[in-house]
């Protein structure tokens, strides 16, 4: 029977064949990992010049500048406060001249422009004309959201933004305020949403 050579001997001696790799030897050379091999430049070694000492009297100049800036800001604030009440006063002067008859005519014009008058009349039965005007103002989205803001502040905000809110609404608000009706300031929709939220707590 002929002797056969082992596979390793045949592969190592065969021409044109790749020798097998052996992983049995020990590594004696230290291998650097990525962290050991990379040295980041240290900012501590960089030269950072120390700030030069401030000249004498610099603190006093800074204090004077700060005081002057504060005075300028206070003057600007006072000017803003003077301008805003003047604009509101003009609107209030116009609103004070509006009679109940003019408010009634304003509401009749709104009702006449509606296509489903009977439906709207059904929902506004038993309400005063002023309340109807205010509720219509509440749902007029072009003047901004009515939730979480008083009606008078909403009207004033719309006026400042140049949205031309109806002066009749301001007239109703001022008349009701003169009567001592503070509850008129809150939008009806705001009351409805808050009552629903309070009712849902116990559920």
Q: What is the reported pLDDT for 178? A: 87
Q: Does residue 87 lie within any of the structural domains?
A: yes
Indicate left, alpha or beta for 170 from its phi (over 0: left) and psi (-120 to 50: alpha).
alpha
Q: Does residue 152 lie within any of the structural domains?
A: yes
Q: Does residue 150 lie within any of the structural domains?
A: yes
CA–CA dist 203, 201 (Å, integer): 6
Q: What is the reported pLDDT for 77? A: 76
What is the value of pTM for the model shown?
Answer: 0.51
Tokens of 123: 């929902």
Quickly tell me which residue has 């240290």 as its tokens: 42
Q: What is the reported pLDDT for 7? A: 57
Total domain count for the chain?
A: 1
Low-confidence ranges of the chain (pLDDT < 70): 1-16, 25-49, 51-62, 80-89, 117-120, 123, 196-203
Which structural domain range is residue 175 located in?
Answer: 81-201
Residues 6+ apart with CB under 8 A from 164: 158
Q: What is the reported pLDDT for 199? A: 54
Exposure of 148 in the CB half-sphere (CA atoms within 13 A): 2
Q: Does residue 59 lie within any of the structural domains?
A: no
Q: What is the reported pLDDT for 158? A: 93
CA–CA dist 145, 139 (Å, integer): 9
Q: What is the reported pLDDT for 89? A: 67
Q: Does residue 127 lie within any of the structural domains?
A: yes
Q: Does residue 47 lie within any of the structural domains?
A: no
Q: Does residue 196 lie within any of the structural domains?
A: yes
């Amino acid at each position: 029977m002929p002797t056969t050579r082992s596979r390793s001997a045949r592969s190592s001696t065969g021409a044109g064949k790749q020798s097998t790799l052996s992983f049995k030897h020990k590594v004696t050379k230290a291998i650097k990992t990525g962290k050991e091999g990379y040295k980041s430049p240290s900012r501590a070694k960089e030269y950072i010049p120390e700030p030069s000492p401030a000249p004498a009297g610099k603190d006093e100049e800074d204090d004077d500048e700060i005081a002057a800036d504060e005075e300028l800001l206070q003057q600007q604030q006072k000017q803003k406060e003077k301008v805003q009440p003047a604009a509101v006063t003009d609107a209030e002067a116009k609103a004070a001249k509006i009679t109940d008859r003019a408010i009634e005519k304003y509401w009749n014009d709104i009702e006449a422009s509606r296509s489903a008058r009977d439906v709207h009349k059904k929902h506004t039965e038993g309400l005063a004309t002023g309340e109807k005007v205010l509720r219509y103002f509440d749902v007029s989205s072009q003047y901004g959201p009515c939730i979480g803001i008083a009606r008078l502040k909403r009207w004033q905000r719309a006026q400042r933004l140049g949205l031309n809110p109806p002066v009749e609404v301001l007239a109703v608000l001022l008349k009701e305020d003169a009567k001592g009706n503070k509850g008129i300031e809150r939008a009806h929709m705001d009351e409805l949403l808050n009552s629903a939220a309070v009712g849902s707590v116990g559920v």
